[in-house]
Amino acid sequence: MATERLNRYISLAAGVSRRVADEMVRNGRVTVGGVPVLDPGALWDPANEEVRLDGRTLVPVREEKVYIMLYKPDNVVTTMKDREGRKTAPALIGEMSSRVFPVGRLDFHTTGLLLLTNDGEFAYRLTHPRFGVEKTYIAKLMSVPRPQELAVLRKGLPVDGKMTNPAQVQFLDKKSGKAWVMIRIAEGRHHQVRKMFDAIGHRVTKLRRTAIGPLELSGVEPGEWRYLTPKEVRDLSDYMDRRSEEVAGQGPPPEVPRHPRRTETPADRAKRRTVKDAIAQAARKKAVVGERAAREARDTERKKPRQPKPAWKKGPRIPEKYGKR
């Protein structure tokens, strides 16, 4: 029995966003088979049940699938809207007959390949970790990494308390103390590439995504976009099928090694208390010595001979004939 999520069906049939469709369901405006439904994610069978919105039957228009490659420039966010008024990636595409959305995200200052589509299943497969889709980046570094440092990235390292999967890394070039490195990862954590290079002591100054799986950034300049060819879509779909099988046979990344927590003994507590008391006593002693030195400095200043007033403080001089008799 074929099933479909209610909010997705309403989004297609009513021509609204998924969020608006969720609100319609929660507000009790939707019935399935004559029964009100309040769960936007509810599954139902389109072949046997009728969906109504405010009493009117909904029939979705099956829209044509759209796949777009965008060369995201710097200083652009990959959300549909931005509260701060910054330029968004969908705004670079402009108005289209079908609503498209970004697949995954690129950081504000990261440039390069970004896909947009109206195919939710395609976007899900590209972004879900179980499909293990690889993304390729070229990073410009502030300094030149040593081979043993790049080897750490190839083995995996802890980032935010969790080990990364092994990355494919290739040193490309160096000039004037800067370096360019290619890195390919199958994860998508927040700022992951930048944090991985930070962990080995090399700051990323520029980052560009050049490929998603077999799909390479080509035929567009920064800020430009184009439709994917049918062959590119097929190749990407076939690649995701292969990757899902490969990732299924791999285990999760190893956990970050943690030092066992030591149980504190009475002797340890006594020692810690002694050290704490000694530190407090030293601080009190330092405060007393400082106060005494300040007091002595004030007393010494008072004992100095009285200094004559400067001329501007004495006021006008009174002539002798107008003085006291």
Q: How far is CA 192 from CA 112, 182, 188, in A?
A: 16, 14, 7
Which DSSP category does 79 fall into? S
Q: Nearest Cα to 159, choosing from 129, 200, 109?
A: 200
107 catalytic, yes or no?
yes
Q: How far is CA 80 from CA 24, 85, 97, in A?
A: 20, 11, 16
85's enclosing H/E stretch is none
Residue 51, beta-bridge partner list: 32
54, 107, 268, 299: which one is catalytic? 107
112 Rama sector, left if φ>0, alpha if ψ -120 to 50, beta otherwise = left
How far is Cα 21 from Cα 54, in angstroms, rounded to an integer? 13
Residue 210, SS3 per DSSP: strand
Contact in structure between 156 and 165 (CB atoms under 8 Å): yes
Tokens of 128: 């879900």
Where would I find the beta strands (DSSP E) of the chain?
4-5, 30-32, 35-36, 43-44, 51-53, 56-57, 67-72, 101-102, 110-117, 135-141, 158-159, 162-163, 168-175, 178-185, 204-212, 215-216, 225-227
H helix count then E strand count, the chain: 9, 17
Residue 45, SS3 per DSSP: coil
How far is Cα 86 from Cα 92, in angstroms, rounded to an integer? 12
Active site residues: 107
